């Protein structure tokens, strides 16, 4: 028996650590070409007039271009993307919404509306069309009251949802996006919200519609029709963009022009966000989308990266216990790279601390970075529930019931002796190589942890600032309460 395997079976925790180290060493040394060439530069031939903006690949989450990514701005009516997402996660489309006096009249004079009045009764579906196409503020208010009882309580749900999606720069105070000094977001946070929204098929159906017929109301006894405002979705408009399939417009005196747009071409889906635009929101969006589609490609990681599938063979050749590692696969991940680059130009890190949302058979999360940009993530999976070495609490496999272990013959003993001698020689050589590899890995790890520490400190400062703002507004305790409730509901759902 391989002596390395014997020791590791007796110490399962050691086995897991050895597996992690071996995987890292082979990823860095054994699976990459010896020659190292500088990766092509990240494309940068773009500029926009708006104060803040971003174009993100919706599948990989890679940020292709950003301007003032984490600066905060007033979002105006693009807020309604988050409002719709919260409503869809908490309501049936056929539920009836009764419009209160406060919902209809507690809006700024002259702001967008669908002509609805106190006492009107529409379904959630009708109200969502009015809100997303016509940008009706009274519809946003009525939906918020229907879901949470009040606009203030609904805003707390919005903040909890934003935090769940990873937003760190935002605070929402109302469902419509009308002016409020405590209502703000960043380009990056808004892209995360849009990335989540377009995964909802009902949101896509409503948001991508050109028009919708509302039922009879007090002011319109014959019914009325609401129309999409986003010019890039309308073929007859000069700003129409081929491939655009959804988005939301926004404007207030404080926010300026804001715009979110979703578009697909050649297998890529992009999200573009413009904040505090200066009447160039459409040209800025076109510039960002053109930049993304012209300079990048998005692919399934498992189609490009075969290094993990060859890991077991490489480990076996080195005399290490690979077991069922041939059943490892890289799944559920996309990567976005410049057209002039290949996946070999990306750096890879492996994280074994998985979140609760990770797939059941996930062993680790593999993150790809390109010139310090995160360009894709994927999960390293064990197929068919295969257990890793060391996951059986260190017990050797027992013979099945009724099965007699084969006796060790002299020939077997001789073969075993030869094998152990061979392994011993191989182990010495491997140990020398491993020492060198470990030194290189240690240096790389030190730099990696230094960078991680800096990122963690930056994130902690951002969270502290967020908490300070919430405490000043008296909303921190309620915010934490809602997040706790959401975590409990998620646990119940997973059961």
pLDDT tens figures, 64-94: 999 999 999 999 999 999 999 999 999 999 9
Structure tokens at 79: 């807020």
The yes-or-no answer on residue 80 being catalytic is: yes
- pLDDT recorded at residue 110: 82
How does pLDDT run across 353-412, given as a tens digit for each residue? 887 777 878 888 889 999 999 999 988 777 664 554 444 443 333 333 333 344 444 444
Judge residue 334's burial from the number of C-beta atoms within 10 Å of its C-beta, 0-12 exposed, 13-18 middle, 19 or more buried.
Answer: buried
* Catalytic residue status for 77: yes
- What's the whole-number mean pLDDT along residues 30-48? 72
Mean pLDDT rounded to a whole number for the chain: 80
Catalytic residue selected from 24, 60, 77, 127: 77
Confidence of residue 241 (pLDDT cuts 50, 70, 90): very high
pLDDT band for position 310 (50/70/90)?
A: low
Region of poorest pLDDT, from 116-125, 189-198, 432-441: 432-441
- pLDDT at site 129: 98
Among the options 24, 60, 112, 135, which is catalytic? Answer: 135
Is the CB of residue 207 less than 8 Å from the CB of residue 219?
A: no
DSSP 237: S
381 and 359 in contact (C-beta within 8 Å)? yes
The whole-angstrom separation of Cα 272 and Cα 110 is 28
CB 333 within 8 A of CB 320: no
Q: What is the rounded distance in angstroms from the CA atom of residue 154 to the CA atom of residue 87?
A: 9
Confidence of residue 128 (pLDDT cuts 50, 70, 90): very high
Query: Is 466 strand, coil or helix?
Result: helix
pLDDT for residue 325: 52
Best CA proximity match to 139, nearest among 73, 74, 214: 214
Rounded to 5°, the CA angle 276-133-284 comes to 30
DSSP conformation class of 73: B
Share of the chain above pLDDT 90, in %: 55
Report the predicted TM-score, pTM, of the whole model to 2 decimal places. 0.72
Given 24, 60, 67, 80, the catalytic residue:
80
């Amino acid at each position: 028996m391989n002596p390395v395997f014997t020791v590791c079976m007796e110490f399962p925790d050691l086995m897991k650590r050895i597996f992690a180290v071996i995987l890292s060493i082979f990823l860095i040394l054994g699976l990459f070409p010896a020659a190292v060439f500088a990766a092509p530069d990240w494309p940068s031939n773009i500029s926009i007039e708006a104060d803040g903006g971003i174009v993100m690949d919706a599948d990989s989450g890679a940020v292709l271009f950003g301007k003032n990514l984490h600066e905060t701005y007033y979002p105006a009516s693009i807020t309604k993307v988050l409002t719709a997402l919260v409503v869809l996660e908490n309501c049936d489309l056929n539920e009836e919404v009764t419009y209160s006096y406060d919902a209809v009249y507690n809006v700024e004079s002259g702001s967008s509306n669908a002509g609805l009045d106190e006492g009107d009764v529409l379904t959630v579906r009708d109200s969502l069309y009015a809100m997303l196409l016509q940008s009706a503020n009274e519809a946003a208010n009525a939906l918020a009251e229907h879901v949470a009882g009040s606009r203030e309580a609904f805003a707390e749900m919005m903040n909890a949802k934003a935090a769940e999606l990873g937003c760190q720069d935002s605070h929402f105070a109302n469902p419509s996006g009308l002016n409020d000094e405590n209502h703000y977001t960043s380009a990056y946070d808004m892209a995360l919200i849009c990335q989540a929204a377009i995964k909802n098929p009902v949101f896509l159906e409503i948001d991508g519609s050109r028009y919708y017929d509302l039922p009879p109301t007090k002011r319109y006894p014959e019914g009325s029709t609401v129309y999409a405002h986003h010019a890039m979705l309308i073929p007859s408009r000069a700003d129409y963009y081929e491939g655009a399939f959804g988005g939301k417009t926004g404007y207030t005196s404080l926010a300026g022009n804001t715009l979110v747009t979703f578009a697909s071409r050649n297998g890529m889906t992009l999200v573009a966000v413009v904040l505090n635009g200066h009447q160039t929101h459409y040209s800025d969006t076109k510039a960002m989308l053109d930049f993304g589609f012209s300079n990048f490609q998005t692919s399934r990681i498992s189609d490009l990266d075969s290094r993990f599938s060859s890991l077991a063979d490489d480990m076996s050749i080195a005399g290490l216990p690979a077991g069922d590692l041939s059943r490892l696969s890289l799944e559920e991940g996309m990567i976005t790279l410049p057209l002039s680059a290949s996946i070999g130009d990306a750096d890879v890190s492996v994280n074994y601390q998985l979140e609760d949302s990770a797939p059941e058979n996930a062993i680790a999360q593999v993150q790809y970075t390109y010139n310090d940009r995160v360009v894709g993530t994927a999960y390293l999976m064990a197929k068919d529930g295969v257990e890793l070495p060391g996951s059986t609490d260190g017990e050797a496999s027992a013979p099945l019931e009724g099965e007699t272990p084969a006796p060790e013959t002299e020939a077997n003993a001789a073969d075993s002796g030869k094998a152990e001698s061979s392994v011993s020689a191989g182990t010495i050589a491997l140990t020398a190589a491993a020492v060198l590899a470990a030194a290189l890995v240690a240096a790389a790890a030190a730099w990696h942890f230094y960078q991680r520490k800096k990122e963690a400190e930056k994130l902690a400062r951002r969270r502290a600032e967020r908490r300070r703002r919430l405490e000043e507004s008296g909303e921190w305790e309620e915010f934490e309460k809602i997040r706790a409730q959401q975590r409990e509901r998620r646990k119940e759902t997973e059961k």
